[in-house]
Structure 1
């Protein structure tokens, strides 16, 4: 089992669900460089482990998913090239999450601000506790989001509203985030993890190859160098050549649950 200084890595072997918990409660789980690096390491471990079928990402404590970046660490960056590299490193890790063929769901248990909102948006789905708050307050510090926030927020809620939130640094409550399409569901805090596990468990009953190809095909829409329709057509053909397709259609005809193998 993987071990980290700033994360908890808990795999339930029976379900294949891995829970990665940001674990810096004294700092409201703020993202420093070491934590971002560990998120990348944890994601790579999850991708390499066949026992991991799906991932929940959440924060420790009751106040914050991730309250933002570690401001003291950011303030110590002295040059433009170092700042640009810090942004690029965060983007690389968050893209690992977004491009994971294994479904990743954010269970947002409190404040998701700045880098925390960016981290949640990198996940495939977002479930929010009723006390969750979302925002990109970087302009208050003379900054902009650096881990993909300007791109993903516009993708999720549209250009106009994204610009409003980015330019005003306003926070939105969970119900408003739901209305905007920033989150998929809002549930009582006490039910957050159980609801998220149930949703992920439903996804994990589907064909793993097809799930991963759905994720890749949707992501292709936002990649300038890729032709989304062609990616979809290629993936459709790949599914037809898979054992999972044969099993899925046979199970349907025989009126029984499918036993997918992921290939």
Structure 2
């Protein structure tokens, strides 16, 4: 058995690839995997370096916490070394601030690409940006000690790292509003009951559960999974009749491919 290939190791992010499975690891447990603009750039780079052979992308974290969220140093006057502080960004032009936030969001957007299925393996705290990073993935397998919280509103901010859309689709408007506005913790039982977690297991079984799910996802032909994911992702924005049309078109592509008539 060969060791996974290391494609990226920078700013608290590691990307390794083992055949059809890529693993992105949050690798700063001493700071509970707190996030920063440098980490977000590394996450975006991981998405760009993902090889075409990858079918499943696993997001995991070292240590007891998945991610404690944004490193509060971002809000100090000095910010991070070599980075503008968030306070300086707020004093700048609207266009520059919007562009900077859009750059941060890139770290959270590629996980739902149709050609991959992403799984977040979440243990311990997943707070703020950590919660949003878990929400960026297609699926979440959680340890029974998981604690989700959206703390941005409590700090006078809003969740701006693409987390509001998946949160709303998973738990509905009323619960999403209550979770965000109160900043309270969502524990394992509620996470599984409301759909935030696809599966909750004892912490010692987290890695094994993710391996089993990965194997199940890889069992089906890749193109069929890609077409199915695209259908499900776009269904909410279509009418019933439009979805029927999309299903027919997708099935026609699959039948032609299976018959050896694909392009």
| Mean Cα deviation higher: 133-142 or 75-84 | 75-84
2:139 corresponds to 1:131: no
* Paired residues for 1:139-218 under 5 Å: 139-218=153-232
* CA drift at 1:81: 4.2
- Offset of residue 97 of structure 1: 0.6
Query: Which residue in 1 is equivalent to 2:117?
Result: 103
Q: In the alignment, which residue of structure 2 is the partner of 1:41?
A: 45
Listed as ranges, the gaps of 5+ residues in structure 1 are 247-262
State whether residues 30 and 67 of structure 1, in contact with CA within 8 Å, keep that contact through their aligned partners in structure 2: yes
1:242 is the counterpart of 2:260: no
Partners of 2:247 and 2:14 in 1: how far apart? Answer: 36
The number of aligned residues is 240
- Deviation at residue 237 of structure 1 after TM alignment: 2.0
* Counterpart selection for 1:3 from 5, 8, 26: 8
Return the offset for 1:148.
1.4
Question: What is the RMSD of the two structures over their aligned residues, measured on CA atoms?
Answer: 2.2
For normalisation by structure 2, the TM-score amounts to: 0.83
SS at match of 2:9: coil
Q: Which runs of 4+ in 1 moved over 6 A?
A: none
Check the 8 A contact 1:99/1:219 in 2, yes or no: no
Q: Distance in 2 between matches of 1:206 and 1:144?
A: 39
On the 8 A contact 1:90/1:146 being kept in 2, the answer is no
SS at match of 1:104: strand
TM-score (norm 1): 0.83
**C-alpha separation between the residues in 1 aligned to 2:128 and 2:220?**
33
> 2:169 and 2:45 mapped to 1: Cα distance?
27
Q: How does 1:4-43 map to 2 (within 5 A)?
A: 4-5=9-10, 6-13=12-19, 16-43=20-47
Structure 1 partner of 2:60: 58
Contact 1:135–1:171 (CA under 8 A) maintained in structure 2:
yes
Q: Deviations over 1:93-128 (max 9, x none)?
A: 322111242111110022111111111111111000
* Distance verdict in 2 for CA 1:84–1:228, change over 3 Å: farther
Given that residues 154 and 181 in structure 2 are in contact (C-alpha distance below 8 angstroms), is that contact kept between their aligned partners in structure 1? Answer: no
SS at match of 1:61: coil
Residue in 1 aligned with 2:82? none
Instruction: Tell me the distance in 2 between the aligned counterparts of 1:123 and 1:144.
Output: 20
Shift in Å, 1:187? 0.4
Note the residue ranges of structure 2 that are not aligned, 5 or more in a row. Answer: 1-5, 77-84
